[in-house]
Chains A and B, each alone.
Chain A
Amino acid sequence: MSQHAAPADRPLGVGFLGAGPVTQAIHLPALARLQDILEVRHVMDVDAAVASSVAARVGAVAGTSIDALLADPGVDIVAICSPHQFHADQVIAACRAGKKAVLCEKPFAMNGEEAARISAVSAETGVPIIVGAMHTFDPGWLAAEQNWADLPEQVHTIRSSIVLPPNARFEDFATEIITRPAAGQPDYADIEVIKAALQGGVMGLAIHDLPLVRRFTPDFEQIEVRHVFHVRPFGYAISLRTPTRVIELRAVMNSTWKPEWIFEAIGDDAALHINFTPSYVQAGSAVATITRGTESSIFGPYGHNGYEGEWRELAGIANGHRPAPSARALIDDLTFALAIADTTVAGAAALHADAANTAGVSA
C-alpha cells in the first residue's frame, strides 16, 4: 500500500492496471505535466519486473495484484490499460472498490452485454467512467465543438484518414520503453489473419475517431458497411453508409516517418477539418478549421493534446468540479464501433473472394 498523507489539496492518486507501452509512453508522460493535480501511486502488471520498473520511474508502489491496487487508499483514480478482453471486469471491480473515477482505455467492453453490466454498476455505485477516446478531449476538437453551430445537421460526408508509422517510432520519442510486444510476420493467405487484422483495425485504430464520426451521424444505429479493403501491412479502407451520411474510413500503418491524422465532416456549404497530432508525443493539440463557403476559422494549436485533456477532465470529475460523462453516450459509442467491427469482419471472407475474382481484370 502507498503511505501518502492525505491533505485536502494533495494531488489525486492514480493507479494503473497494466504497465505496457501505452502506460509508459502515453499516460506517464502526460501525467508528468500534471503533477500539481495528479500523482501515480500504484502500478500493477502481470509481469512483476515490468510493474517494478515502471513504478520506480514515478516513485509508485508496484505489484501484480489487482485487488491490492483497488484496496490501496492512495489510489483515487484507476486507469485500466490492460488487454481489451479484461477491460469490462476491471472497470466493474474498480467501480465496486469505490474509487473516485475510472479511466478505461478504449474499448471499454467487447460486446453489448458487457457494456450494459458496466453501465449498471456505474449507476449503482455512482463511480464515473471515462473511456480513453483522447480525441474527444483534444482542445482543438473541443474548440471546434464550441464553434460549429449547426454543422452536425448539415453534414453529409465524413472522412477519417489515419497514416502512422509503427508505434515504436513515437514511443521512442516519448520514453524509454520496456516490454515491447514482439511483431510477427502475418500470413495474409489466411482469412482468419485478415479478419483479426480488420477487427484490430476497427477496435484498435478506427475507434479513436468513431466517437467523432458518431457526433455527426444522428442515424448511427442504421450504419451499413458497403465495402471493406484490408490494407497491408496494416490498415483498412472501409466504406460506410447510413440513410443520411456517407462515411469513409482510411488507415495505413507503414514505415513512413510522416504521420497524418485527419478527420473531416463535410456539408453542402460548411465543413470541419481537423488535423490531429500523433499519439505518444506531447506535440500539442489538433488544429481545427471550420469553413463556411470560402471563409475559414482556425482553432489551435493549443498547448496540450487529448491525453492530457482526458486526465484534466478526470481530475475535474474526481474532484466533483466537472460532471460525469453520460453512460448512454459511452454505450452508444461502443455499440457503434462494435457494429462496424462486426460487419467489417463478417465481410472479410467476401473481400477475400472478391480479391481473387477481380485479379487480372484490367480497367
Chain B
Amino acid sequence: MSAHFTVWGPPEALAAGAVSQTMASLPATFGPAADNQPGVADVLVIAGGPGWTAEATRAIAAGARGMVVANPLPEATAELAAAADAAGTAVVLDLRWASNAALVGDAGDPDARDAVRGALGTASLLDSVASAAPGTNPQQLLGEHLAALLAVCGPLHGVRVLAGGSVGYTLGGRLANGAPFTAQGVLTAARPCGVDIRLYTADGGVAVHVPDPDAAWPAEVRVTGAHGELLLPTLYETAHRSVWRRLKEHLRAGTRPDDLAGFARLTDLYATLAVT
C-alpha cells in the first residue's frame, strides 16, 4: 500500500497552486490534513508572494516533511535551502510554466531541455514569446518567463532589458555559442496564456509551446532537422501535478529535490533586470 501524506495550506496558497484538484489526481498519495490542522500535516503549501522564503524557513522549523511553494517570486533561497537540508525537508517549487514536465521530464524521458541543449551548438537564434492577460504585472511575467527559459536553455550571457512598458518587455542576450537570444513578454487577452521558445539552428531547430497550468492541455515540443519533424510524446499533465508527482517520489525515497538551487540562478538573473 502507498504511503499517504497529509497536506495543509492557507486557502490562498491552495488556490494559487490548484492543490485540491491536483491532490485529487494523486489520491493514493496525498490528502488533506485531518480537521485542516497545520501542525499535523506532512506537507505544507505556501504561496510564493513577497517574503515567501522567510515563511518557508519558519515552516520548516515546525517539522514539515515536504513543502510546495506555489508561484514563487524570485527571492534569495540560500538560507531556506540550508534549513531544508538541515531538517531533511523536500521543498518543491510550483512554477507556472517551468514546472511543466515537457520542459524537464523524468530521467530517460525525452524533453525540451535535452532537445534544446542538444541543438545549441549550431544555434542561429533563440526567440521566445510569453503571453499573459492584460493587467498582469510585467515584472512578474518576466520572472515566470525567465524560469521557463533557464529550465531549458542553459547559460544566457549578457541578458538585459532592451525595452519595457505597460504592455510587455523585450530582453536580449547571447547563447553560449554567441548566437543572439531574444525574449518578449506580451499582455493580451487575444492569445492563450503560455510561453513559446523557438531555437533556430543550422538545419532546423526546436519549437516549444507551454500552456498555462489551469488545464491539462499538453505542451508541445517539436524537433526539426534533416530527418523531418519529431513531436515529442505529449503529456496531459499540468505543471502543478508534475510538481506533486516529483514531491511524492522524493518523499518516498527520502531524497531532496534541487529546485532551490536551480531557482537561485533565476533569482540572480532577475535581480539584474527591471521592466520599466
Question: Are A and B subunits of one complex?
Answer: yes
Smallest CB-CB separation from A165: which chain B residue?
A: B203
Against A, the Cβ 8 Å flags (1 = close, 0 = not) of B179-206 are 1101010111111000000001111110
Q: How many A-B residue pairs have CB under 8 A?
A: 130
CB distance from A252 to the nearest CB of B (A): 4
Please tell me which one of the listed residues A230, A258, A293, A357 contacts residue B224 in the complex, with CB atoms under 8 A apart: A258
Q: Let me know if B170 and A226 touch, CB within 8 A.
A: yes
* Secondary structure of the B contact surface, majority rule: strand
List chain A residues, Cβ under 8 A from B125: 229, 231, 235, 237, 250, 252
Residues of the B chain whose Cβ atoms lie less than 8 Å from the Cβ of A231: 124-125, 179-180, 200
Distance between Cα atoms of A363 and B159 in the complex (Å): 7
Is A270 in contact with chain B by the CB < 8 A criterion?
Answer: yes
Using A231-B125, A361-B157, A363-B173 as known contacts, say yes or no to A268 and B224 having CB atoms under 8 A apart. no
Please give, as numbers and ranges, the residues of chain B lying within 8 Å of A72 by CB-CB distance. none
Contact A239 B162 (CB under 8 A): yes
Min distance, Cβ A101 to any Cβ of chain B, angstroms: 38
A355 touches which one: B134, B170, B178 (CB < 8 A)?
B178
Q: Is A360 an interface residue (CB 8 A)?
A: yes
Kindly state whether residue A291 has any CB partner on chain B within 8 Å: yes
Q: Tell whether, in the assembled complex, residue B269 and residue A363 are in contact, meaning their CB atoms are under 8 Å apart.
A: yes
Q: Which of B145-183 contact A (CB under 8 A)?
A: 155-159, 162-163, 165, 167-168, 170, 172-174, 178-180, 182
Contacts of B174 in A (CB 8 A): 355, 358-359
CA distance A231 to B205 in the complex (A): 14
Q: Are B124 and A235 in contact (CB under 8 A)?
A: yes
- B residues near A343, Cβ cutoff 8 Å: none
Task: Report how many residues on chain B are interfacial, defined by Cβ distance under 8 Å.
Answer: 43
Q: How far is the CB of A183 from chain B (nearest CB, A)?
A: 15
User: Quick check: B188 and A266 within 8 Å, CB to CB?
Assistant: yes
Interface residues of A, count at CB 8 A: 43
For the complex formed, measure the closest distance between the CB of A288 and the CB atoms of chain B, giving whole angstroms: 14
Please name all residues of chain A whose beta carbon is closer than 8 Å to the beta carbon of B204 when the two chains form the complex. Answer: 254, 256-258
Asked if B168 and A246 sit within 8 Å, CB to CB, the answer is: yes
Contact: A254 with B203, CB < 8 Å? yes
Contact B167 A157 (CB under 8 A): yes
By the criterion CB–CB under 8 Å, are A255 and B202 in contact? Answer: yes
Within A291-339, the residues touching B (CB, 8 Å) are: 291-293
With A293-B189, A358-B157, A359-B157 known to touch, is A226 a contact of B203 (CB < 8 Å)? Answer: no
Within 8 A of B (CB), among A199-256: 226-227, 229-233, 235, 237, 239, 241, 246, 248, 250, 252, 254-256
Is B129 an interface position by the 8 A CB rule? Answer: yes
Question: B157, A229: Cβ atoms under 8 Å?
Answer: no
The answer to whether A239 and B172 have CB atoms under 8 Å apart is yes
Mostly, the A contact residues are: strand
Closest B residue to A255 by beta carbon equals B203
Q: Is the CB of B127 within 8 A of A161?
A: yes
A25 part of interface (Cβ distance < 8 Å): no
Given A235-B125, A254-B200, A255-B202: A266 and B191 interface contact (C-beta under 8 Å): yes
Q: Which residues of B contact A73 (CB under 8 A)?
A: none
Distance A250 CA – B170 CA, assembled complex (angstroms):
13
A354 to B159, CA, bound (A): 12
Q: Check if A268 sits within 8 Å of B189, measured CB to CB.
A: yes
Contact B205 A256 (CB under 8 A): yes
Are B182 and A237 in touch, CB under 8 angstroms?
yes
* Most chain A Cβ neighbours within 10 Å, of B157, B269, B272: B157
List of A residues within 8 angstroms of B224 by Cβ: 256-258
B225-263 vs A, CB cutoff 8 Å, 1 = contact: the mask equals 010010000000000000000000000000000000000
Cβ of A43 within 8 Å of any chain B Cβ, yes or no, is no
Indicate which residue in A156, A258, A361 contacts B229 across the interface (CB closer than 8 Å).
A258
Residues of the B chain whose Cβ atoms lie less than 8 Å from the Cβ of A254: 124, 200-204
Q: List 18 A-B contacts (CB under 8 A).
A: A226-B170, A229-B125, A237-B125, A239-B163, A239-B170, A241-B163, A246-B163, A248-B170, A248-B184, A250-B125, A254-B200, A256-B200, A266-B186, A266-B191, A268-B189, A293-B190, A361-B157, A363-B159
11 more contacts with CB within 8 A, not counting A159-B129, A237-B127, are A157-B184, A226-B170, A235-B124, A237-B125, A246-B184, A248-B184, A252-B200, A254-B203, A358-B157, A363-B156, A363-B159
